[in-house]
Structure 1
Amino acid sequence: MIAQAERARADVDIRRLTVDDLDLFADIRAEALRTHPQTFGSREEDEGGEAMLTAYRHWLSGVVLSAFGYGSLIGVAGFYVSPDRRSRHRGHIFTVYVKEDGRGRGIGDRLIKGLLAHAESCVEQVHLEVLVEATAAIKTYRRNGFEVYGTDPRAVRVGEVTYDKYLMVRTFGQ
């Protein structure tokens, strides 16, 4: 079992996406939006078209890590630093998604570790939001030092259903 897990890790390459990867990023975001609309989505994606592509180009000009395995993109995770001058000590993780066939292989864990390694050099703390029901994701975040500090009730509405989100934080050097 351990040999199989190590082999799966070796078969996955983690690297930073760039604007040259726009089509790949758009495809994996489309899958994430389709399969988990309660978790993903932005104002620009609701608008679609050029607004969405402009947002994607902006995101890709920052830090978006990817996991490539078995010839395709199987996971992504993004990071940005708060743009407000008074909040630049805070970073944020967003758009964490691993395709169904890549789950359970430690790919999400590797993406988060990669983002945290980058974040530690530029911020004091990292924040993220996660659906209360996303137990596997919550376990991954906890393993990587995140703690729940609050709940955002009814944070997302899809149709008539609302979803709560946990607010989580990881601090460095505290």
Structure 2
Amino acid sequence: MTVDDLNLFREIRAEALQKHPQTFGSPEEGEGGDAMVAAYRNWLSGTVLGAFGCGSLIGIAGFYVSADKRSQHRGHIFTVYVKQNSRGSGVGDRLIKELLAHAEARVEQVHLAVVSTEIAAIKTYKRNGFEIYGTDPRVVRIGDAMYDYYLMIKRFSH
């Protein structure tokens, strides 16, 4: 996806934020307006893949490498989301496989964080070679509910 896909990206992110607030959200999205649009433009200037079905965007997944020179051996997967009616059809697997193919030539390992209750997502990541290496407790609070994140890694054998 590119910056030209900003409106499509905004629509699917809005759905992800509404349906899964424990999983999605950034400070810029909390501010809304220009800050949010600037963040989305920045994300889309990097690597964000889109999956399309029946003429509409049904899934997204992003990848970036840290700007810190000391950490450029590490890549990060973010903003993975597949619309509800397209789940279970392999869209998420395909997005992750494509990102990993892109990442393997650039980094030695890929990291991601996933809400510990997102069992289907965790299974998808494990199928694609990720393993849990830690838990970040109580990362997100929504009302009285607290959510832990599993920290996951996939190492490439270079």
Q: Give TM-score scaled by structure 2 length.
A: 0.99
What does the per-residue CA deviation read over 1:51-84, in whole Å, with 9 as the maximum and x for residues that have no partner? 0000000000000001000110000000000111
Q: Which residue of 2 aligns with 1:153?
A: 137
Question: Equivalents in 2 of 1:155, 1:146: separation in Å?
Answer: 21
Q: Which residue of 2 aligns with 1:94?
A: 78
> Match for 2:28 among 36, 40, 44?
44
- Percentage identity across aligned positions? 71
Q: Which residue of 1 aligns with 2:95?
A: 111
- Structure 1 position 33 matched with structure 2 position 7: no
Q: Which residue of 2 aligns with 1:165?
A: 149
Question: Equivalents in 2 of 1:160, 1:49: separation in Å?
Answer: 28
SS at match of 1:76: strand
Whichever residue aligns with residue 63 of structure 2, its letter is F
Q: Which residue of 2 aligns with 1:125?
A: 109
Q: Which residue of 2 aligns with 1:5?
A: none
Whichever residue aligns with residue 110 of structure 1, its letter is R
Q: Which residue of 2 aligns with 1:60?
A: 44
Backbone CA RMSD of aligned residues: 0.7
Whichever residue aligns with residue 30 of structure 2, its letter is D
Report the structure number with the largest CA radius of gyration: 1
> How far did residue 158 of structure 1 move?
1.1
- Runs of at least 4 residues off by over 6 Å: none
Question: Equivalents in 1 of 2:55, 2:64: separation in Å?
Answer: 28
Q: Give TM-score scaled by structure 1 length.
A: 0.90
What does the per-residue CA deviation read over 1:100-138, in whole Å, with 9 as the maximum and x for residues that have no partner? 010000000000000000000100000000011000000
